[in-house]
Amino acid sequence: MTTTIDQRQLAREASHALEDASATEILQWAYTEFGSGLVVTSSLADTVMIHLAERVAPGIDVIFLDTGYHFAETLGTRDAVAAVHNVNLISLTPDHTPAEQDAIWGKDLFATNPDLCCAMRKTQPLDHALTNYSAWVSGVRRADSPARAKTPIVSWDSRRELIKISPIAKWSDAEVADYIEQNSLMVNPLLDDGYVSIGCAPCTARPLTGDARSGRWAGLAKTECGIHL
């Protein structure tokens, strides 16, 4: 029986061994290791991770968190991905609609208590869904922000007790753009309108500084929704 200690060791060893591997090689390792127990998560700012994953594992599960507060452009990208890409796109929804949340917690919780809003609409639904898997794939990159600068290729997600894989952790913004162009991938139209990091509409603006995450929760010290903490 595989233990938590075994999984932690696997994560450490794999992260070291795959540090210089290509994103495709990293995903091939993950799919060989976990098979149907592997799932990809995507915010649908672009389709890089989806394209990489479907090449390695056609039909793989892809989780999208439908918070009820997304831009129309993001939902349109989701629908296009479901129609075009060879993945099983799963839209997760929170326990309460925005209107129900307003009735329980007060109007616009995202403005009065954004941490709680993110927890209920993002983190908790994802935590619940990931109990059905052994490992999850994220598109987080070291270039995203200072807080993500040390993102390992493979890590042990101690809160959820499963392996986390970040195949494009080492990619620069230029490498992402090149991959999109070379493979003619669709992107969220908001990227062409000055947005860089795209989340829920009420909490996303165009970046205020050179930090791509500065447009998220502008005016607050908050830079992460909690998914990657």
Residue 225 annotated as catalytic = yes
Spatial distance between the Cα atoms of 77 and 73, rounded to a whole number of angstroms? 6
Burial class for 215, CB neighbours closer than 10 Å (0-12, 13-18, 19+): buried
Q: Which alpha helices (H) appear in the chain, and where do they start and end?
A: 4-17, 23-34, 48-56, 72-84, 98-105, 109-112, 114-118, 124-130, 173-182
Spatial distance between the Cα atoms of 140 and 159, rounded to a whole number of angstroms? 17
Please give the structure tokens belonging to residue 184: 């003619």
Q: Which of 117, 118, 200, 225 is catalytic?
A: 225
Q: Which residues are catalytic?
A: 225
